[in-house]
Structure 1
Amino acid sequence: MPIPSSPARAARSLLRDDVYRQLRDAIVDGTLAPGESLRDGELAEWLGVSRTPVREALLRLAESGLVVARPGRSTEVAVVEEGPLRGARDVVAAMHELAARVAVPRLSSEQIEAMRAANERFAAAIEAGDADAAVTADDAFHDVLIAAAGNAALSAVLERYTPVLRRAEVLRFLSVDRFSSADRHARLIELCAAGDADGAAALAFQTWHSLPVAAAGSSPG
C-alpha cells in the first residue's frame, strides 16, 4: 500500500530508536507492504522527523533483512524468502537456547514473577486477537532470560535477526495454534523455577525453531 497520507501517531521528537521501531512495526503489520518503495523524504514527513533518523533506521532494517537497499537506485520493503527466514529463525532459536541455559541458574524469584506477569498479558492479548500486544508481551517474557544471561554479544545477534521473524510471529499469534504459545511459556516458567537449565534451554529452542517460516513472507493482512 502507499505511504499513508495522515500523520503517524508519533511524537515529533522521536529518537532514532523510536523511528526504527515505528518503521519496523509498519513493515511487520503490512502498512508498508513487501516490494513497496521507501523514500526517506516521504517517511520523514509521515513520522514528523528529519531525514537523518529515517536513513539510519533504513540502514538497520536492511541489516536485519526487512529492507533491501540498492545504492543509487531504490530502497524497498523486502519480500522475505523462505531460505533467509529459515536461517534467521535457526540463529534466533540458538540464541534463546543459550540465553536460557545461562540465565536459569541466575534467576531471582522477582524475575520468575516478571515472566509470569508477562505471560498473563500475553495470554490476554492472544484471547483478544491482539497480535501487536501479544508480540510486546512475548518480548517482555523472553527479555527476562536475555537480561539475566548478561551476554552483550547474544543481545546484539538477537537485535539483528529477530526483526525479520516478526511477520512469522504475527502469523502464529493470529493462527489456530496461537493458544499453545502461552502453554509453552507456562512450561518454560516452571522449568526455570525448578532450576532446570537444560530443560528450559531445550524448550526455548523448540519454541523459536517451530515458527512457521514457509508462509511468513506475505503480509499478515
Structure 2
Amino acid sequence: MEPSATPARTLLRERVHGQLLKAILDGTFQPGARLRDSDLTAWLGTSRAPIREALAQLTEVGVIEMAPNRYTRVATITPRVYAESAAVWATLMTRALHWGILAFPADEVPRLAALCDELRTSDPALFPPGPTPIDRFLGAIARHCSNAVLLENIAVHEPLLQLGINRFKTHLQVKAIAGYFDTIVARCVDHDVDGFEAGMREFLNGPTRAFTETMTGMSLAEYLDDVS
C-alpha cells in the first residue's frame, strides 16, 4: 500500500460520513427511509466500502438501524429514546458549561444575550433542521471549555438528539428555557459556577421534570427507577 493511501481513504470515509449525516439531519432522508447501497453509491459517487464504514459509524450513535440481510434505514426516534438521549447530553453539557462559564469572555456577553432574546420569541414548531437557538446559545459557552475529550463526547451524542428535536420540537418549552438562560448570562458575567450549578438543579426539577414526564408517560421518579 502506498503511504498516502490510508489518509486518502480516511478523508473519503469522513466525507461520506458527513454527507450521510447531513442528509439524515436535514430531512433529505426521513426517519424510516431505506438506505440501499446501490442508491448511495450513485448519489455519493464512491465505492461501497466507505459507505458501509460510514453506515456502521452512524449505527453506533443510533441514527441508523441495521438488520443484516434485511434493512438499513434511518432510525425513528421514540419519545423515550429522545428523553434518554437528552438526559445523557445534558449531563455532559452541564460539565462543559461549568468550565465555559469560568472562562467566558466579557466581550461575548451581548451576543449571548441576543441569542437568549431570539429564543424567547421563537416558535419551536418553525425550527428548521439543524442547530436551534438553544444549541447556539449553549455552544457559545461550551466552546470556551478546554476539555477536548468532554467536547468530543458531547459531539457524539448530538446527532441522535438532533433527530429527536426534529421530531418532537413542539415539546420544547422555549419561554421557560429562555428564562433560565437569562440567569446563565448573568453567571457568565460573574463567572459564577456555584450559582450555575444551583440553578441547574432547580431547572432539572422544573421544566426538565415536566419534559421527561411528557415524553415518557411516567413521573420522573418512576422514569429514573425504570432506567436504573
Identify if the C-alpha distance between structure 1 residues 155 and 39 changes in structure 2 by more than 3 Å, giving closer, same or farther.
same
1:161-188 deviation digits (Å, cap 9, x = unpaired) = 2222224434564347333333332222
Corresponding residue for residue 159 of structure 2 = 163
Q: 1:214 aligns with which of 197, 201, 216?
A: 216
Structure 1 spans left out of the alignment, 5+ residues = 1-13, 216-221
Identify if the C-alpha distance between structure 1 residues 103 and 128 changes in structure 2 by more than 3 Å, giving closer, same or farther.
closer
Identify if the C-alpha distance between structure 1 residues 61 and 134 changes in structure 2 by more than 3 Å, giving closer, same or farther.
closer
1:16-61 deviation digits (Å, cap 9, x = unpaired) = 46414423314xx585123x32113324545x54356644442332
Deviation at 1:134, TM superposition (A): 7.7
Deviation at 1:63, TM superposition (A): 1.7
Corresponding residue for residue 70 of structure 1 = 67
More relative contact order, 1 or 2 (CA 8 Å, 6+ apart): 1
Deviation at 1:100, TM superposition (A): 1.6
Corresponding residue for residue 23 of structure 1 = 23
Identify if the C-alpha distance between structure 1 residues 148 and 30 changes in structure 2 by more than 3 Å, giving closer, same or farther.
same
Corresponding residue for residue 221 of structure 2 = none
CA RMSD of the aligned region, Å? 3.4
Secondary structure of 1:132's partner? coil
Q: 2:174 aligns with which of 178, 203, 206?
A: 178
CA contact (8 A) 1:16 1:54 kept: yes
What is the rounded CA distance, in whole Å, between the counterparts of 2:28 and 2:180 in structure 1? 27
What is the rounded CA distance, in whole Å, between the counterparts of 1:18 and 1:159 in structure 2? 13
- Partner amino acid for 1:138? I
Corresponding residue for residue 199 of structure 1 = 195
Percent sequence identity over aligned pairs: 18
What is the rounded CA distance, in whole Å, between the counterparts of 1:117 and 1:134 in structure 2? 19
Structure 1 range deviating more: 88-97 or 50-59 = 50-59
1:135-192 deviation digits (Å, cap 9, x = unpaired) = 3433221112221112121112111222222244345643473333333322221222
Indicate the structure with greater helix content: 2
Structure 2 spans left out of the alignment, 5+ residues = 1-13, 218-228
Deviation at 1:120, TM superposition (A): 4.0
CA contact (8 A) 2:97 2:141 kept: yes
What is the rounded CA distance, in whole Å, between the counterparts of 2:179 and 2:168 in structure 1? 14
What is the rounded CA distance, in whole Å, between the counterparts of 1:176 and 1:147 in structure 2? 23
Q: Report the TM-score when normalising by structure 1.
A: 0.69
What is the rounded CA distance, in whole Å, between the counterparts of 2:193 and 2:29 in structure 1? 40
